[in-house]
Amino acid sequence: MSKIKLFDPSINKSEYIALKKVLQSHFWASGIGNGEVEKFENKFLKYINSKSCVAVNSGTAALNLALSMYDIRNKEVILPSLSFVATANAILENGGIPKFADIDENTLCVDPKKISKLISKKTKVILPVHFGGISSDLTEISKLCKNNKMKLIEDAAHAAGTSYKNNKIGSHGDLVCFSFHPVKNLAMPTGGLISINSKDYKKISKILKEKRWCGITNRKGVNYDVKTIGWNYYMNEFSAAIGLVQLKKLTELNNKRKKIAKKYSNEILLENKMPFDNSCSYHFYWIRVKNREKFREELSKRGIETGIHYKPIHTFTLYKSKIKLPITERVAKEIVTLPTHPNITKRDLDKIIKTVNKFS
Ligand SMILES: Cc1ncc(COP(=O)(O)O)c(C=O)c1O
């Protein structure tokens, strides 16, 4: 019995050719050789239609750098708790205070009404996560940001290819952070990117490029200066070369994910499941079941891998607080994620749906 994986990057000959080219160039780091990183930034910029894009080596690096652009020391950042822990870690890393808001039960994205209750004089940033690829309510969240002079930084790790009101995610918030981790819709060995939409995008882009490489600036040959702290966050040429190939296929790959999600949505009998929305990238598909442990075990026995996204961040020792997030906590006990990757065959899909309906 072959296993149906939860995540699986879709590759063909083109990735091999792209990799070989970089390998043979002998220039593997960013900024030299074939210039794949810059090419990737330019192509992704065109794809999402923002003002500027800065490639980095992970979604985590993108979040850390994005938050480092606004002095959030002892300031509050509002985010959902139902996310990967990197979303909140980036706030701590920058000396900020995470404030977890509850989610909308329909989309599992952060609820603007819950956000507004948490806004205080100390709030500086709102950090929504486009959960599973469904866009957060950017209209309401942008209004809150504007009215309270806060910045909008989006965690778009799941949302490469998602649209919101006919514009691609990446073209809305001040800074939008993508992950190109191998499980993501646009897969690289490791990679991330910050998309910039603020008016001062030229300045921000310049600083981000310095920060992604140890703060190095004004480089002339072997001579350079350092004015700000920076890290080794730059994307390498192999990742960018694969990313260029994956970007060309992204619409096609996401269309396959949408087809899978549509079939889940139509044929899974459970009431509590991810809604179908043609503008969603469907990084995964979530359902909610009461008997989760047994349910996952039965699927696993039949070769179907499932996931749990996520254990809520506010329940981790590092983040433990007295806050109550009733919807997040309820969902977290029931959520199961199903595969949507483009390597799923029709047979796999029929098997998953049949098994889910049998054991849920
Ligand atoms: C919602 C979310 N944010 C941030 C990240 C971090 O991205 P990376 O793994 O590329 O560092 C991930 C990755 O899993 C994620 O799912």
Q: What is the pLDDT of residues 237-271, one digit of tens each?
A: 999 999 999 999 999 999 999 999 999 999 999 99
DSSP state, 304? B
126 and 154 Cβ atoms separated by less than 8 Å: no
Between the CA of 221 and the centroid of ligand 1 the distance, in Å, is 35
The average pLDDT across 185-202 equals 97
219 is written with which tokens? 């480089």
For the chain, what percent of residues have pLDDT higher than 70?
99
List phi, psi (to 5°) of 330. Answer: -70, -50
Ligand 1: residue whose CA is nearest its atom 14: 84
DSSP state, 191? -
pLDDT at 221: 87
Per-residue pLDDT band for 30 (boundaries 50, 70, 90) equals confident
CA angle 61, 123, 109 (to 5 degrees): 65
Ligand 1 atom nearest 61 alpha carbon = 11
Spatial CB neighbours of 258, under 8 Å, sequence gap ≥ 6: 278, 280, 282
Q: Which of 55, 31, 61 is nearest to 43 (CA)?
A: 55
Of 136, 154, 178, 181, the residue with max ligand 1 atoms within 8 A of its CB, to mutate for a pocket test, comes to 181
Per-residue pLDDT band for 199 (boundaries 50, 70, 90) equals very high
DSSP state, 319? G
pLDDT tens digits, one per residue of 105-125: 999 999 999 999 999 999 999
Measured distance CA(180)–CA(236) in Å, rounded = 12
List phi, psi (to 5°) of 118. Answer: -95, -10
Q: Decide if pLDDT at 191 tops 80.
A: yes
Helices (H), 94-193: 112-118, 138-147
Enumerate residues lining ligand 1, CB below 6 A.
58-60, 83-84, 86-87, 129, 155, 157-158, 179, 181, 192
Per-residue pLDDT band for 320 (boundaries 50, 70, 90) equals confident
Measured distance CA(345)–CA(263) in Å, rounded = 13
For the chain, what percent of residues have pLDDT higher than 90?
96
The rounded mean pLDDT for the chain is 97
Ligand 1: residue whose CA is nearest its atom 8: 59
Q: Decide if pLDDT at 130 tops 70.
A: yes
107 and 275 Cβ atoms separated by less than 8 Å: yes
pTM above 0.95, yes or no: yes
Q: Decide if pLDDT at 1 tops 90.
A: no
Q: Decide if pLDDT at 31 tops 70.
A: no
Per-residue pLDDT band for 32 (boundaries 50, 70, 90) equals low
Per-residue pLDDT band for 88 (boundaries 50, 70, 90) equals very high
The average pLDDT across 321-326 equals 91
DSSP state, 233? -
pLDDT at 70: 97
Between the CA of 333 and the centroid of ligand 1 the distance, in Å, is 21
Measured distance CA(200)–CA(176) in Å, rounded = 15
Q: Decide if pLDDT at 234 tops 90.
A: yes
Measured distance CA(318)–CA(89) in Å, rounded = 9
List phi, psi (to 5°) of 155. Answer: -95, 100
- Mapped onto helix, strand or coil, the DSSP state of residue 357 is helix
Decide: residue 302, CB within 10 A, 0-12 exposed, 13-18 middle, 19+ buried.
Answer: middle
Spatial CB neighbours of 359, under 8 Å, sequence gap ≥ 6: 291, 294, 295, 298, 299
Residues of 175-187 as b/e, b for ≥16 C-beta within 10 angstroms? bbbbbbbebbbbb
pLDDT tens digits, one per residue of 42-80: 999 999 999 999 999 999 999 999 999 999 999 999 999
Residues of 229-264 as b/e, b for ≥16 C-beta within 10 angstroms? ebbebbbbbbbbbbbbbbbebbeebbebbbbbbebb
The average pLDDT across 189-214 equals 97
Per-residue pLDDT band for 296 (boundaries 50, 70, 90) equals very high
